[in-house]
Chains A and B, each alone.
Chain A
Amino acid sequence: MSVIRLENAPSVIGYAAVVGRREHEGPLSDDFDLHDEKEKFGMDTWEKAESEMQRLALNLALAKAKLTGKELGAIFAGDLMNQCIGSSYAAECSHRPFFGLYGACSTFAEGSVLGSLLVDRGVFSKCAVLASSHFCTAERQFRYPLEYGGQRTPTSQRTATAAGAFILSAQGAGPYVREVLPGTIVDMGITDINNMGAAMAPAAYDTLTKYFEETGKKPEDFDLILTGDLGKEGHGIICDFMKNAGYDMSGVYNDCGLMLYSAATQDMHAGGSGCGCSASVMAGHIMKRFEKGTVRDVLYIATGALMSPASLQQGRSIPGIAHLVRISAERGGE
């Protein structure tokens, strides 16, 4: 698969991020639109809370874009729960064509790739991209009960309680989705669910090197290269591997999982993870930076660890994937 250039680069005309308590206590707290201290968003179960979080993100993004839900051609949304119920319930009352996606933590980039392609080719004039994760639903699904007394390893990551939304439109003042590179599955044999950074890093490396080789660009051509949720481990691996491949990423590279929480004051081990992690950092922090003009050209590579509890129990390794989205303040040029 090669880099797809979007000639009619869709504009991100609305964006919003809704987060939980820990994320709000983190260094990016000012960039999020809404948070709930109790993380239940007025609901009685964690699953409903996650859907509500996603619904709020969509409505906030629509409001910022001065649109109503009826004007959306489609909604692309995903989360980590079984059968993607978080997104289905969130989109229920919008009555718009709905595509439920599963790309684990890469979902927001997956949705952005699909949404921007379809807007670029004129299929839809506007569409919404949504992704969410909730610490409490993900723990129940993938790990242990919430009150279970266990210890985490230093390489483990915390699933972010967060949701992000983009509204993409054929018309708009930017920023624009200029290029996309859908990822392929890369499995390097990692079986440790507590080291997802190492499981996903090869996929990010694969996508990044493909992008640089094909476009002839270099890391320093961008203001920021941002991976989704590789955490401390994955971040270190990417730096190592890219350096060996001849790309110096220092100075321009960061990871949403490392940005969401404070490593010094919040006990989050290797950083944040989950669909909501990069979705909220992109739709909160990064979009605000585009607004302020402190970044103009960003490569966003969201990574996903595509395992299930059953595959892990059967001893199978964790397949990784990484989708790339290039967002720029300018529609054309290099």
Chain B
Amino acid sequence: MKIDKETYKKYAKSRAPSSPLLKDMLFAFLVGGAICAFAEGIYNFYLYIKIEEDTVRTLVPVTIVFLASLTTGLGVFDNLAKFAGAGTLVPITGFSNAVISPALDDKSEGLVMGVGAKMFTIAGPVIVYGVISSVIYGVLYWLCGVIL
């Protein structure tokens, strides 16, 4: 081939159509917003049936995680996510889906090495770096308290 690698890479990149960003962002905004509004509705509903506010704050994410897991299991979530993109990925629904989807796939390899080991292949790094950053944040927070 009479073309060097760099030129070819640039050529391939330039001719490849990019994702429809405007459409993707619009759907992400609408679906993500709808999920958050729905969660807000559940929040108000729990308060309305006289559950304590502290409990409600835990109960709402639990409910949303449950619903995302359920729709993942029913095979609906990925069809919605195809259009919603970041709209379903960024809320806690994305995290729930990232744990449940490998668990569903890998059950054929058994409960220990399949479900148990592989259910965190996607969510694992999020947990690891989430915990690390929370520790860093905690130390900084403590230092600020000492210094100021």
Residues of A within 8 A of B (CB): 44-47, 140, 144-155, 186, 188-190, 195, 198, 202, 205-206, 233, 236-237, 241
A236 touches B102 (CB 8 A): no
Asked if A146 meets B12 with Cβ closer than 8 Å, knowing A153-B19, A154-B17, A189-B5, the reply is: no
Residues of B within 8 A of A (CB): 1, 3, 5-6, 8-9, 12, 15-20, 24, 72-73, 75, 77-78, 80-82, 84-85, 88-89, 94, 97-98, 100-102, 104-106, 108, 122
Q: Identify the 4 closest CB pairs spanning chains A and B, nearest first.
A: A149-B81, A198-B12, A145-B101, A189-B5
B122 touches A144 (CB 8 A): yes
In the complex, chain A residues whose CB is within 8 Å of the CB of B98 = 148
Asked if A148 meets B9 with Cβ closer than 8 Å, knowing A154-B18, A195-B16, A233-B15, the reply is: no
Q: Interface on chain A toward B: helix, strand, loop, or mixed SS?
A: loop
B72 touches A186 (CB 8 A): no
In the complex, chain B residues whose CB is within 8 Å of the CB of A46 = 108
Q: How far is the CB of A53 from chain B (nearest CB, A)?
A: 17
A151 touches B15 (CB 8 A): no
B5 touches A155 (CB 8 A): no
A147 touches B72 (CB 8 A): yes
CA distance A59 to B97 in the complex (A): 40
B1 touches A205 (CB 8 A): yes
Chain A CB count within 10 A is highest, among B1, B94, B98, for B1
A189 touches B105 (CB 8 A): no
B122 touches A45 (CB 8 A): no
A-B contact pairs, 20 of them (CB 8 A): A45-B108, A145-B102, A146-B78, A146-B104, A147-B75, A148-B122, A149-B84, A149-B94, A150-B82, A151-B19, A153-B18, A155-B17, A188-B3, A189-B5, A189-B6, A190-B9, A198-B16, A202-B1, A233-B15, A237-B12
Chain B CB count within 10 A is highest, among A47, A140, A147, A152, for A147
CA distance A189 to B104 in the complex (A): 35
Return the contact of B105 from the options A146, A153, A205, A241 (Cβ within 8 A).
A146
In the complex, chain A residues whose CB is within 8 Å of the CB of B6 = 189
In the complex, chain B residues whose CB is within 8 Å of the CB of A148 = 78, 97-98, 101-102, 122
CA distance A241 to B17 in the complex (A): 18
In the complex, chain B residues whose CB is within 8 Å of the CB of A152 = 82
Chain B CB count within 10 A is highest, among A45, A140, A146, A149, for A149
